[in-house]
């Protein structure tokens, strides 16, 4: 039972934790303000989970740009295709998430919040425009914010390609 409650994550300095939270808050606020300014949806709940990864664990494999953008686009694309062919079946939201996970694993672009993107797209019967705004545009902006933030604070994002 002890293994269930053991914290495997190494401790983070308070300063680093504050910087992670501040970067995430600024990036998400920017997406929210963009939405208010343009009158279009830019900020979706799965981006909050993405922000945790890219600002608190920027060197994790699941936080990398290909994973974030590719994962969200994959999740949305699969869900939108299911909505187009089989609308209105709540159980297909789970199928959308499962297919998104399978596809992300096979494509090596796993990004856990993208499972929520698939659920959101199916459960709201999103239109195809959802794929481009907020999903594609918003995820690219999150990557850009993370890149800029890490440059500003002296961190590393994204990881350098491995051979």
Question: What is the residue-level pLDDT of the chain in tens, covering all 163 positions?
Answer: 888 888 888 899 999 999 999 999 999 999 999 999 999 999 999 999 999 999 999 999 999 999 999 999 999 999 999 999 999 999 999 999 999 999 999 999 999 999 999 999 999 999 999 999 999 999 999 999 999 999 999 999 999 998 6
- pTM to 2 decimals? 0.96
Report the candidate in 13, 54, 18, 17 with the shortest Cα–Cα distance to residue 138: 54
Domain assignment of residue 9, yes or no: no
- Is residue 109 packed enough to be buried (19+ CB in 10 Å), middle (13-18) or exposed (0-12)? buried
DSSP 159: P
Domain assignment of residue 90, yes or no: yes
Q: How many CB atoms lie within 10 A of CB 35?
A: 17
pLDDT for the residue numbered 162? 81
Domain assignment of residue 109, yes or no: yes
Q: How many CB atoms lie within 10 A of CB 21?
A: 14
57/53 Cα distance (integer angstroms):
5
By residue range, what is the domain housing residue 53?
14-153
Domain assignment of residue 140, yes or no: yes
Domain assignment of residue 53, yes or no: yes
pLDDT for the residue numbered 115? 98
Please tell me the total count of domains within the chain: 1
Domain assignment of residue 162, yes or no: no
pLDDT for the residue numbered 6? 87
């Amino acid at each position: 039972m002890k293994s269930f409650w053991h914290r495997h994550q190494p401790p983070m300095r308070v300063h680093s934790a504050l910087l992670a939270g501040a970067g995430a808050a600024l990036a998400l606020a920017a997406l929210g303000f963009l939405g208010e300014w343009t009158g279009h949806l830019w900020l979706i709940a799965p981006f909050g989970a993405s922000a945790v990864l890219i600002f608190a664990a920027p060197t994790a494999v699941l936080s990398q740009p290909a994973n974030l953008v590719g994962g969200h686009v994959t999740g949305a694309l699969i869900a939108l295709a299911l909505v187009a062919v089989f609308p209105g079946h709540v159980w297909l939201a789970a199928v959308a998430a499962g297919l998104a996970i399978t596809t992300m694993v096979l494509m090596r672009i796993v990004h856990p919040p993208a499972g929520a993107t698939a659920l959101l797209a199916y459960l709201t019967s999103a239109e195809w425009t959802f794929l481009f705004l907020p999903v594609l545009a918003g995820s690219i902006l999150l990557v850009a914010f993370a890149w800029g933030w890490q440059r500003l604070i002296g961190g590393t994002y994204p990881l350098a390609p491995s051979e």
